[in-house]
Structure 1
């Protein structure tokens, strides 16, 4: 049973959670199961009783359970698989953004597309779930600032700089992931963010798009936290001190996030919580408390990972279970009929007190603060007439990996189009019919 205090918080404050954008998040499930054909798809049904969703270990979300879980805002993801890099990544990203926009429109009684922090509150006033669009994988922009700007115009407000593969301008979190998916960086590249990567971050700051550093390498994280003029987020991660995986954040990075003003959003993926296949709600709380103790209460959020993970904590099996987590934080003695805490949980010996204001920050205020700050940077730069960036990715970074890219789209390092393979035809043959 949810405590009275937790009920008050959820009734008057929107909960934001992040659906991890991996190969099987909600939008990717729809692509896989329905080929993005959603006109006859009832997202308001209990998908636990609908094939093939009921057979999938990766399916944790539908409108019925979101309402039960008192979700007030959702970061929906257009996930783009690494194998599409340098091929059809941009097309896939556009198709997934289109899917999400249509899904939100078809369920407009429940969902409300938002692009600003004020619109999040407006959706809450309307009793709808604020829906924010994000893209996972910087390869989705095709190394083009023009495409980045176009995604912003379509309503995308968050970009995860990498997924499980390097881009030509940023490193991902794991050498193992690079080996599996292939690196796009020159042999003499120093790990981290390239100069063009810094331009991407600058352009995201100018646009008012949130920089998401989940999946990036520690070197990339440190460089972005140095160059970004706006707060960043880590949309789905956990504490390296409790589970030493390259996807989790060490304490020195947590301190840099606090200095940046960003937010670390805790994943519910068991492998990130305990470094094995099982975990409990207490493990999630242990990571939340550790990150709070290092970075501070203003820099912690909920990342979950629902619909992108197949190993969830006992007691947090799907989106309907959020209220139980917050009730447990407010009242640690509110025990559940679950397995005993694992080693990660027991590593936190002094439990901080969580009052209602603390829980509100965790549930969404911290993320909204970041979104507002990102918008403020955009406004300040607009007042200063900061213009869009026109830099281009040096062609050397695509050497050997541009088989599916025409010479027409290739730009030389001085910013002019290359003409080496452009046929020199009479003007009449170039004229439109």
Structure 2
């Protein structure tokens, strides 16, 4: 495989923020560390900037602090920040290695100030999950009881992200919000992703995607990151790696073969799939997939689908600050 594995979601930065004594290079308290990424053959890891939307500290200062932690901890450990197609090509030309990307998980930390969106883009953020589970100034999350969609300012946020080139992420977004974003994306000719969600047809959890949502993401040319969160994989009992396969199969039956990738949610979960406890376990996950599927198909899911998306939708070059 030319490219290493690509994972579209982890929460290591928030762990680093909450535990200043953790070092990213190698720490057993992290599911995702530099050492484990190398051991797992991960070529590109997306790091979420996550702040609990129920906390008073959901403020731009904490967002900026996590972005700074990427520079001081993750890049220091030899994982450069990838913000453009040019940097992606340079990483490959240098012989691979491991790179990182930045996403913002929930717009609540932006405090309703659209100028902060530009600031985050300038600092390297390329993906934005509009909500976490609850409501914020932009839209309702999937766990918000009223099930609302976007606010007027939230619709302005969509437009701005489309203009800047920030890719929107519907994992955690309300159903109404999903369909409102679909309408806006169709008009703009822009795809969106679900960075860490599974199939609700296989596991009936509100964080998973319906068949209609899956078909819509496929139709728009987006991507779906199957996730390793046990309750999103199986309703009860111990969850094994093979329990993820029905999600793969079902999404492929809906036309998603070329649109699937993975978004582990490592460091954002307290329980793990047996055998998939951290980034180093991607070796075992690949071995298992190869027992059931041909290598070209496995390569698509582990890296090529995500890579083709990035080569299309990341900006061509990094803009000078």
How high is the TM-score relative to the length of structure 2?
0.90
Give the alignment partner of residue 305 of structure 2, picking from 338, 363, 366: 366
Instruction: Answer whether contact 1:232 1:370 (CA < 8 A) is retained.
Output: no
- Does residue 120 of structure 2 align to residue 134 of structure 1? no
- CA-based RMSD of the aligned residues comes to 2.1
Q: How far apart are 1:27 and its partner, in Å? A: 1.3
Are positions 1:246 and 2:206 aligned together? Answer: yes
- Counterparts in 2 of 1:71 and 1:200: CA distance versus 1, 3 Å: same
**Alpha-carbon distance between aligned partners in 2 of 1:118 and 1:297, rounded to the nearest angstrom:** 27
Please report how far the alpha carbon of residue 315 of structure 1 lies from its aligned counterpart in structure 2 after TM superposition. Answer: 1.9
Q: 2: CA distance between counterparts of 1:357 and 1:203?
A: 37
Q: C-alpha distance in 2, partners of 1:137/1:268?
A: 20
**1:2-81 matched pairs, under 5 angstroms:** 9=1, 12-20=2-10, 25-34=11-20, 42-45=23-26, 47-48=27-28, 53=29, 59-81=30-52
Distance 1:13 1:154 in 2: 25
Structure 1 residue 259, shift from structure 2 partner = 1.0
Is 1:82 the counterpart of 2:42? The answer is no
1:31 offset after TM fit, Å?
Answer: 1.6
Runs in 1 of length 4+ with deviation above 6 angstroms? none
Following TM superposition, by how much is the alpha carbon of 1:42 offset from its aligned partner in structure 2, in angstroms? 4.3
* Distance in 2, Cα, partners of 1:104 & 1:274: 33
Choose which of 150, 153, 158 in structure 2 pairs with 1:196: 153
Identify the residue that residue 75 of structure 2 maps to in structure 1.
105
Question: What residue is the counterpart of 1:265 in the other structure?
Answer: 225
- Count of matched residue pairs: 313
Q: Which residue of 2 aligns with 1:397?
A: none
Match of 2:133 in 1: 164
Distance 1:102 1:237 in 2: 30
Structure 2 counterpart SS, 1:73: strand
Cα separation, 2, equivalents of 1:261 and 1:154: 26
1:314-352 CA-to-partner distances (Å, cap 9, x unmatched) read 1212111112222222222xxxxxxxxxxxxxxxxxxxx
- Mapped to 2, the partners of 1:155 and 1:253 lie a distance apart of 29
Decide whether the 8 Å contact of 2:214 with 2:256 is kept in 1: no
What residue is the counterpart of 2:268 in the other structure? Answer: 308
Check whether the contact 1:214–1:237 (CA below 8 A) recurs between aligned residues.
yes
Q: Residue in 1 aligned with 2:116?
A: 147
Correspondence for 1:345: none
Whether the 8 Å CA contact 1:277–1:311 is kept in 2: the answer is: no
Alignment partner of 2:54: what SS?
A: helix
* 3-state DSSP of counterpart to 1:316: coil
Name the SS for the 2:127 alignment partner.
strand
Instruction: Rate the CA distance shift 1:88–1:315 in 2: closer, same or farther, 3 A.
Output: closer
Among candidates 127, 143, 162, match of residue 174 of structure 1: 143
Contact 1:210 1:371 in 2 (8 A): no
1:2-35: CA deviation from partner (whole Å, max 9, x where unpaired): xxxxxxx2xx222111334xxxx3112112221x
Contact 2:50 2:105 in 1 (8 A): yes
Of 86, 90, 93, the match for 1:122: 90
Q: Do 2:134 and 2:144's aligned partners in 1 also have CA atoms closer than 8 Å? A: no
Mean CA deviation greater in 167-176 or 214-223: 167-176
Match of 1:292 in 2: 252
Unaligned runs of 5+ in 2: none
SS at match of 1:214: coil
Compare CA radii of gyration and give the structure with the larger one. Answer: 1
Counting only pairs closer than 5 Å after superposition, residues 369-408 of structure 1 correspond to structure 2 as 369-375=308-314
Q: Distance in 1 between matches of 2:283 and 2:151?
A: 42
Secondary structure, aligned partner of 1:249: coil
Q: Matched residues in 2 for 1:374 and 1:303: separation?
A: 18
Match of 1:218 among 164, 172, 175: 175
